A = this chain, B = another copy of it.
C-alpha cells in the first residue's frame, strides 16, 4: 500500500513537457518484425514507418535530403561512417513532438514464454534467466528501432521501462516516473519505449506490454491522438483472413468503458461481434488492445488502428483523421461518446 501511495505521488507529479505531445505511436510487433522468423526485423517495413514518421512531423516544411543520426557500423557497409555536417533539414517539431512505443513481435516472446516470466517467481532459476534473456531480446529490437529512426533524422533515444524504474503490482503499473520522458521531449528528442520485463511487487516480475505503457503515458501526458500501427487494416468483426470479415471503421466508447460499432451499420446489431486481429501479441492480444484503446479514448483522445506503411497510416500520423474521418480512409477510429 505504501508503494501504491508512492506511485500515486509519482504519477501526480508527472510534469507535462513544454513542447506539446502531438501523438503517441505504437509500432506493433507484427508490423515491424517477421513474425514467423526468430528475432528478425522487417527492415523494409521499419524503414517505411520511420520515413512516414519523419514526413508526418515535417508537414510541408521540407523536401530536402534526409541526413542520418546513426553513425554506427552497419553490416556490409564501410566501417568509417561519413558524417555530413549539413543538418539544417532536420525536423523541428513545430507542430509538437511524439513518443514511440513498440511491441516485441518475434523478439522476446520466445524467451518470455519459455521461462514464464509473465507469471513471476524470480526465485526459480529458469524465470530469472528468462527475465535476463527477455530483456536482452527486447532491448536488441529497441536499439534497432532507434537506429532506423535516427537514419531518418529523427532524434530518437531509447528508454527501457525496466531501467527507467517502471514497475507493477499484480501486473498493474504502480511506479512509472515520466520525468525523464518529458525532459527528453523538451530537449528535442523522441523517446522510444517498449514492452519489457519488469519487477512486480506481488509476483516478483512480469511482462509489461507496450499497450499498457501507451495507456499510462496517454493518461499522464495527454497527447492529441494515439496511432496503433499494425499488420492488418484495423479491427474486424471476425478474423480478417475470413472472406466475410468486416472492418469496423468507427467504434464509440462510453463512460463505463463499454463500446459499440458506429460504422459500418452492422445488419444484425445483436450478433456477438468477434473481434480479432492477426496479431502475435502474446501479452493479451486483441482483448487487451481494445480495452487499452477504450481506456485511452475515454480520456477524449482519439485512437487510430491502421495498417503500417500505407497511405492510410501516413494520413493518421499527419493528424488528417482528427475530428472527421474521411470516407476513403481505411482503418479503425475509436472515439469517446458521452
Q: Which A residues form the contact surface with B (CB < 8 A)?
A: 37-39, 67, 69-73, 79-81, 83, 85, 87-88, 90, 110-111, 114-115, 122, 125-126, 128-133, 135-137, 139-140, 143, 146-147, 150, 153, 155-160, 162-165, 167, 177, 179-180, 183-184, 187-189, 199, 204-205
Contacts and interface: CB of A to CB of B under 8 A. Distances in A.
Q: Which 6 A-B pairs have the closest CB atoms?
A: A87-B125, A71-B133, A69-B132, A159-B163, A165-B180, A69-B129
B79 A38 contact: yes
Contacts of A132: 69-70, 150, 155-157, 189
A264 to B, nearest CB: 43
A159 B132 CA distance: 12
Contacts of A163: 157-160, 163-164, 180
Number of copies: 2
Contacts of A179: 165
Contact of A73 (B38, B85, B135, B180): B38
A88 B137 CA distance: 23
A60 B149 CA distance: 48
A67 B133 CA distance: 12
B164 A133 contact: no
A205 B183 CA distance: 12
A158 B163 CA distance: 7
A80 B110 CA distance: 10
Contacts of A126: 85, 87
Contacts of A165: 164-165, 177, 179-180, 183
B155 A162 contact: no
A133 B114 contact: no
A73, A126, A128, A129 — which one has the most chain B CB atoms within 10 A of its CB?
A129
Nearest to A191: B163
A165 B122 CA distance: 26
A133 B72 contact: yes
A37 B80 CA distance: 10
Contacts of A85: 126
B150 A157 contact: no
B183 A140 contact: no
